[in-house]
A and B are shown apart, each in its own frame.
Chain A
Amino acid sequence: MFTNCSLGHCHIIVAVVLWSICVDSRKIRGISLSYKRFYRERKSFLCIDGSKMIPFDQVNDDYCDCMDGSDEPGTAACPTGRFYCTNLGYRSHYIPSSRVNDGICDCCDASDEYRSQTPCQNTCRNLGQRERAEVEGQTRVLGERLRLKQLLIEEGVLTWREKQAQLRDLQRVSDDLQTQLDDLRKEEARRKEEADALREREIGARETADNSPTSHYRPESPISVFKELDSNRDGSITVDEVQAKLSPVQDEEHALSEDEAVALLGGAHRVDLSRFEETLWTSLRTGDSVTIKGRRGVPGSLADEDPNIKAAVSAAEKASADLKRVEDAYETVYMEIRDLREKLSIDYGSEREFLFLHDQCFQLKVYEYIYELCPFSQVTQKSASGEVVSLGKWGSWAGPPENPYCQMRYESGEPCWQGPTRNTMVMLICGTETALRSVKEPSKCQYVMELQTPVSCQPALRQRGVHSEL
């Protein structure tokens, strides 16, 4: 059902209308002027397919003699016959013979119901007027729409160039970053090696001094530290004791204020062992605020005291951070390039006229759902409860070969309960504004949207001949 789409929204199809009706065709009902020659009144009538010769009075006698139905153009007798609605003032056309005298008005000139009880009015004049007005209106707006289309095409061209330039810039940045990355990787490796080497040496030295009672590497427990700080051995640590034994990390000479001490004890003036573990011990372990006077580093996880090691480690860390930063930048640029390339690889129409739709989204509310179409990206459905369901991701153009850009297919949306994945067909139609016009779900989870846009408008030349003998 999606294979035929009209070229643009404005069906200006005004066919040839016979203006000379002085020709006597009244006798032979249901034929067009061009067929008149087959029905010249003679003694006999030759079926148009040449299959049979019948007496002329058997033409339109309500009995089908010819296989091709040509003897009964004005009655319903032949199953394959057709009846010509002249429809003066409007478009003439054929209807199947089975619609002659079936009680339903088919021709606007009422000529098909000449023997039925259904009263049909001749509405051709009104229809014609309405259509002409419509056509005129359409012609007027078509110019505007085509102008808009041109603008959008130009916009597309600009965007295209812009994007190309952007891509080139990004490529350059990427190359730069690549060079930096190479350097930084080397630097980082070197620093790391240095630090590791120093550290290894130090560990070796400490292992020899392992039995020393003052070793920094004796693992300290909260109990031992508690005991060390508990000068009066009363099983609790007071503000005084804190002030006496501890100092800020940055300034060993500076004494702690009472408030600072209280804060370190978690707001108390006196703490027992368990409370100590929750408060002061934690601060001591992190080692970034206070330390025990005369000591360096963090109890329990003592930092390298050797300034050489410290320097080497921090240099290695810095190199690592530098590398990470540039790697991130490279990654970002890489993604951008990829996205941009992907974007640029999409088929935006023969003149890239649909490029402007990229990065735009269109919404339409239908009953309780809000539908959103982001061309060349995805289609979603948002329910009143706010849940968003994917109705498909950009797939491909899906119009017929002669006009591929009149339909878009979005596929592989969220799977349906017990069924295939949701997909959406977007029909592009000609209109002034670019907007979503309708959403339907003809079968479960198969959506059809209409997107109107001036870009889908075609010049009037593409339509059938217009005659103005009306």
Chain B
Amino acid sequence: MNSSNSILRTQRMGPLLVLWLAGCLSGTWAVDRGNFKTCDQSAFCKRQRALKPGQSPYRALLETLELTNTKLTLQLINDNNKVRLLLELYRLQGNMTRVKINELKPLKPRFEVPDVLINDPPTEPLSLLSRDENGVVLSLGADSQRLIVSAKPFRLDIMEGREVLLSLNSRGLLAFEHLRIRKDTLLCNYFHLSPLLFLPSLKAKEDEKVEDGMWEETFKSHTDSKPNGPSSISLDFSLPGVENVYGIPEHADSLKLKATDGGDPYRLFNLDVFQYEVFNPMALYGAIPVMLSHSAQRTMGIFWLNAAETWVDISSNTAGKTVFGQMLDYVQGSSETPQTDVRWISESGIIDVFIMLGPTPTDVFSQYASLTGTQAFPPLSALAYHQCRWNYNDQEDVAAVDQGFDDHDIPYDFIWLDIEHTDGKRYFTWDPHKFPQPKDMLQGLLDKRRKMVTIVDPHIKVDSSYKIHNEIRSKGFYVKSKDGGDYEGWCWPGNSGYPDFTNPEMRAWWASMFAYDQYEGSMENMYTWNDMNEPSVFNGPEVTMHKDALHGNWENRDLHNLYGLYVQRATAEGLIERSGGVERPFVLARAFFAGSQRYGAVWTGDNAAEWEHLKISIPMCLSLGLVGVSFCGADVGGFFKSPSTELLVRWYQTGAYQPFFRAHAHLDTPRREPWLFGPENTALIREAVRQRYALLPYWYQLFYHAHHSGQPVMRPLWVEYPQDTATFSMDDQFLLGRDLLVHPVTEEGARGVTAYLPGKGEVWFDVHTFQKHNGAQNLYIPVTISSIPVFQRGGSIISRKARVRRSSSCMEHDPYTLFVALSPKRFAQGELYIDDGHTFNFDKQKQFIHRRFSFANNALSSRNLAPGSQFTTFSWVEKIVILGASKPSKATLKTPDGKESQLEFEFDASMSVLTLRKPGVNAGLDWTVVLQ
């Protein structure tokens, strides 16, 4: 129990932190932009952005071309400074092209991102179609796709038929800052080294002036020593025919990315941004350098595999034009083809780009999944509701909150403990007064079939009486400062060290700390939360690690955005290992990178209790879903500040239909457990949470698909309706899978919302009233405070569990209700996935049930989609609700043993809803219901 004054005095925050916080907090709630760099304040971005489109100085040296079975290599030369680059082109299986560009002979190796690709991507042979002095034409196999390498100036074009799909360096913005010797050390060192090796750089010296920030850069009070000098890279991509680009999370911005002309580029640099603002391109906690382009004709993706600070500029020849202007162009026939130009700039490393050629959204998801893997399949309970707060004070508090849920009959699965549960912010420990008997507490939760998450952050208190610190120090596992000592910075515990998670030995050791005998007080129903893994360094530049800090041989500069991924990975591996490889882990992290989806869930960080933040949670999670991270959520209620009751209710209603569903609140906010706002609001929140629990079978099935094939759980409408231009910039509503359309109410005082129901000739059913609506229309829906507009697609079958209990585990053996929504052609299809809900047996021993339900010709049947699998469930089919049905004379259930029985049914003629009573068949078996 702290007075907040004492918080500022105690060891929890050092004086520097106090200053930092005071700076951040003075007066306003908004982000202090001054703490974070603009492109102009980031020397390499400024240098690169100063370069304008024009003739590229790069030329392909065709005589150096080599074509092997797997790749084409070719040297490029910069005619200004004669530095040579090596281009490698790969045709990858699954309709992808990989373009790698590095210095031909760098002074020292440049960083290439490890551990993100799940394997060395399998290649397919490239064949040379033609070759002359201007370039070469290569075949990319199917669909008359060709790759054209132009020599002078160097550019690449990928064509299909006569259409250019994408061009690289067409605007001449390829720029590769070669490594060079520092001038002030040149005289003394140069002649001791091989003159040949450095000839190009010596020559270059004459052409290139040394600019500010090349060898040292100061931001606020922090100086970046830059021992390797300038090393940035840049490349432009042109996308003819494309008006919509998406992805490159994490930004608090609209789903459809905006043109960045006249403003800052989108920034990818993992940062702990205090009180971030919505609708701007500033960097946030995570970075996934993947962009999707979409037009009615084609969807493609660009994966820029680079973990350094990255900026992405977007410009478009249609951006800024009014609809009228575009129409005028069209009428006058003067319109140029719409085109989007994208430019990537990174501070170091190499150019390594994967071009995913689609052509459908689904294809792009599969292509990206084949490179970086799919979403970890979470334990079923992790898809249920999570109750979090900074902080639940002690064991008694935990017990009281747990009981509160039962007293108010609201289900929940996880209760979370933030940093105050530890002994002085020493992770893996417990506060001896507040949590003297953690196992008793966990057993209490286990008795109710519930679980807990404790926080384990990657900053480690520098304290010689702390075992974790001593071991990391003695093993040399800490990140080092540029001077070679252990890097130290301020974070929650005060002075902290940062383990080098890029080191596999460090990760293995870290993982071993989660063993039940290492993490004292832990039990099998306790999982983990990695916060602050950008990493957050309160007194570091931009509240993160110094770029010249060292991870082995590499600077933080080279791999900054990768740190958070490694933290989550090591933790997830620890949770797997502690169970002997049996149990699926659940780890939530704030920072992430491409590939993080393999290790758990992420959330959108420290948002605020404001309507804008509720709204932005939709595009933020949609953007993440497009680039592989399906398990995404925002703090329900908003982290900073205190929500109005209406906002809190609306946030529960929205969060109940987003993948990661967790309420969280800042230490300084008043309590906001669901029952503290009067019985009416308790009932509203209860109803939202219950809807989530009833729908868990569908969520689980969607996550199985995300895990299996990389398809996002939460999808923008255009993913399923790629030709419907009306959907391209929609981000106030979304699809769950294909079959549920959700348009949450995110406006204060709303009396109605206008939802767009896509699909000409399709129908949608309101899941609450069963009212049928036609597709391809804007539907005005009057709403009250209890409304959560959700629609089921006609043609789909969704399974629910109608018996909502205290936790998802309690519902394990419960029966299913099938909601069959008929298409206008009286057809429907759906799936059901069942396994034990928490182990890897589904994967290792094929212990699962995967059924396909089909309704056609007035018969609904269930058949096995995975004949090789085996699993037994107690669950059965309790009810079948057919929407858009007509009244049958009888309903006959047929089972494979030849038995037939008549089902009782009810028919609601006003809504055309047919309810079949108690088929009673086991959910894992084949059966058919015939309507006559």
A residues within 8 Å of B by Cβ? 1, 61-63, 65, 76-77, 79, 96, 98-99, 102-104, 366-367, 369, 381, 383, 385, 387, 389, 414, 416-419, 422, 439-446
Is B4 positioned at the interface, with any CB of A under 8 Å from its CB? yes
| Listed A/B pairs (18) with beta-carbon separation below 8 Å | A61-B918, A63-B878, A63-B879, A79-B803, A79-B804, A103-B449, A104-B806, A369-B1, A369-B3, A389-B3, A416-B3, A417-B7, A419-B668, A443-B671, A444-B667, A445-B3, A445-B4, A446-B671
Contacts A1-B671, A76-B805, A79-B802 given; does A366 touch B814 at CB 8 Å: no
B162 contact set on A, CB distance < 8 A: none
* B804 near A367: Cβ-Cβ < 8 Å: no
Interface centre among A1, A76, A104, A385, by most chain B C-beta atoms within 10 angstroms, is A104
Say which residue of B9, B670, B802 sits within 8 Å of A443 (CB atoms): B670
A99→B670 CA distance, assembly (Å): 31
Is B448 positioned at the interface, with any CB of A under 8 Å from its CB? yes
Say which residue of B4, B6, B449, B671 sits within 8 Å of A383 (CB atoms): B6
Say which residue of B7, B9, B449, B676 sits within 8 Å of A1 (CB atoms): B676
Q: How far is the CB of B5 from chain A (nearest CB, A)?
A: 6
* B803 near A77: Cβ-Cβ < 8 Å: yes
A-B CB proximity, top 10 nearest? A102-B810, A417-B4, A63-B918, A98-B805, A441-B1, A443-B671, A443-B670, A444-B668, A416-B4, A389-B3
A124→B649 CA distance, assembly (Å): 40
A63 contact set on B, CB distance < 8 A: 878-879, 917-918
* B806 near A441: Cβ-Cβ < 8 Å: no
Closest to B392 in A: A442
B9 contact set on A, CB distance < 8 A: 385
Is B577 positioned at the interface, with any CB of A under 8 Å from its CB? no
Q: How far is the CB of A249 from chain B (nearest CB, A)?
A: 58
* B393 near A442: Cβ-Cβ < 8 Å: yes
A419→B642 CA distance, assembly (Å): 11
A104 contact set on B, CB distance < 8 A: 447-449, 806, 810
A416→B666 CA distance, assembly (Å): 14
Contacts A443-B669, A444-B669 given; does A99 touch B4 at CB 8 Å: no
A369 contact set on B, CB distance < 8 A: 1, 3
Q: How far is the CB of B20 from chain A (nearest CB, A)?
A: 14
A337→B708 CA distance, assembly (Å): 82
B residues within 8 Å of A by Cβ? 1-9, 25, 393, 397, 409, 433-434, 447-449, 667-671, 676, 802-806, 809-811, 814, 878-879, 917-918
Closest to B406 in A: A99
Contacts A102-B805, A444-B669 given; does A422 touch B3 at CB 8 Å: yes
A439→B394 CA distance, assembly (Å): 12
A454→B890 CA distance, assembly (Å): 71
* B667 near A367: Cβ-Cβ < 8 Å: no
A102→B25 CA distance, assembly (Å): 48
Closest to B431 in A: A367
Say which residue of B4, B804, B810, B879 sits within 8 Å of A419 (CB atoms): B4
A77→B879 CA distance, assembly (Å): 11
B448 contact set on A, CB distance < 8 A: 104
A442 contact set on B, CB distance < 8 A: 393, 397, 671
CB-based A-B contact count at 8 angstroms: 92
A282→B879 CA distance, assembly (Å): 109
* A98 near B806: Cβ-Cβ < 8 Å: yes
Contacts A98-B806, A104-B449 given; does A440 touch B671 at CB 8 Å: no
Q: How far is the CB of A113 from chain B (nearest CB, A)?
A: 11
A77 contact set on B, CB distance < 8 A: 803, 878
Closest to A381 in B: B3
* B810 near A103: Cβ-Cβ < 8 Å: yes
A383→B3 CA distance, assembly (Å): 9
B6 contact set on A, CB distance < 8 A: 383, 387, 389
A79 contact set on B, CB distance < 8 A: 802-804
Q: How far is the CB of B731 from chain A (nearest CB, A)?
A: 32
B3 contact set on A, CB distance < 8 A: 369, 381, 383, 389, 414, 416, 422, 445
A366→B434 CA distance, assembly (Å): 10
* B668 near A440: Cβ-Cβ < 8 Å: no
A414→B5 CA distance, assembly (Å): 10
A369→B7 CA distance, assembly (Å): 13
A383 contact set on B, CB distance < 8 A: 3, 6
A439→B1 CA distance, assembly (Å): 9
A226→B809 CA distance, assembly (Å): 104
A273→B5 CA distance, assembly (Å): 58
* A76 near B803: Cβ-Cβ < 8 Å: yes
Q: How far is the CB of A118 from chain B (nearest CB, A)?
A: 9
A381→B667 CA distance, assembly (Å): 19
A381→B6 CA distance, assembly (Å): 11
B434 contact set on A, CB distance < 8 A: 367
Closest to A1 in B: B676
* B805 near A367: Cβ-Cβ < 8 Å: no
A61 contact set on B, CB distance < 8 A: 918
Say which residue of A99, A366, A381, A444 sits within 8 Å of B806 (CB atoms): A99
Contacts A104-B449, A104-B810 given; does A440 touch B1 at CB 8 Å: yes
A76 contact set on B, CB distance < 8 A: 803, 805, 814
* A416 near B668: Cβ-Cβ < 8 Å: yes
Q: How far is the CB of A298 from chain B (nearest CB, A)?
A: 55
Contacts A76-B814, A446-B670 given; does A389 touch B5 at CB 8 Å: yes
Q: Beyond A102-B810, A102-B811, A367-B434, list 11 extra A-B contacts (CB 8 Å).
A: A77-B803, A98-B803, A98-B804, A102-B805, A103-B449, A104-B449, A389-B5, A416-B3, A416-B4, A440-B393, A442-B393
* A444 near B805: Cβ-Cβ < 8 Å: no
A1→B404 CA distance, assembly (Å): 11
Q: How far is the CB of A131 from chain B (nearest CB, A)?
A: 19
Q: How far is the CB of A424 from chain B (nearest CB, A)?
A: 12
Say which residue of A366, A417, A419 sits within 8 Å of B1 (CB atoms): A366
Q: How far is the CB of A120 from chain B (nearest CB, A)?
A: 11
Q: How far is the CB of B8 from chain A (nearest CB, A)?
A: 6
A1→B676 CA distance, assembly (Å): 6
Closest to B815 in A: A62
A80→B143 CA distance, assembly (Å): 59
Closest to B878 in A: A63
A1→B802 CA distance, assembly (Å): 30
Q: How far is the CB of B256 from chain A (nearest CB, A)?
A: 36
Closest to A366 in B: B1
A180→B433 CA distance, assembly (Å): 63
A439 contact set on B, CB distance < 8 A: 1
Q: How far is the CB of B768 from chain A (nearest CB, A)?
A: 14
A63→B447 CA distance, assembly (Å): 27
A414 contact set on B, CB distance < 8 A: 3, 5
B676 contact set on A, CB distance < 8 A: 1
Closest to A96 in B: B409
Q: How far is the CB of A160 from chain B (nearest CB, A)?
A: 36
Q: How far is the CB of B22 from chain A (nearest CB, A)?
A: 10
Contacts A1-B676, A445-B3 given; does A103 touch B809 at CB 8 Å: yes
* A417 near B5: Cβ-Cβ < 8 Å: yes
A76→B409 CA distance, assembly (Å): 14
Q: How far is the CB of B408 from chain A (nearest CB, A)?
A: 11
Interface centre among B6, B25, B393, by most chain A C-beta atoms within 10 angstroms, is B6
Interface centre among A62, A98, A441, by most chain B C-beta atoms within 10 angstroms, is A98
Closest to A422 in B: B3
A422→B806 CA distance, assembly (Å): 35
A381 contact set on B, CB distance < 8 A: 3
B803 contact set on A, CB distance < 8 A: 76-77, 79, 98
Q: How far is the CB of A434 from chain B (nearest CB, A)?
A: 23
A441→B4 CA distance, assembly (Å): 11
B447 contact set on A, CB distance < 8 A: 104
A128→B10 CA distance, assembly (Å): 48
A367→B3 CA distance, assembly (Å): 13
Interface centre among A76, A99, A444, by most chain B C-beta atoms within 10 angstroms, is A444
A387 contact set on B, CB distance < 8 A: 5-6
Q: How far is the CB of A63 from chain B (nearest CB, A)?
A: 4
Closest to B434 in A: A367
Interface centre among B7, B397, B671, B805, by most chain A C-beta atoms within 10 angstroms, is B805
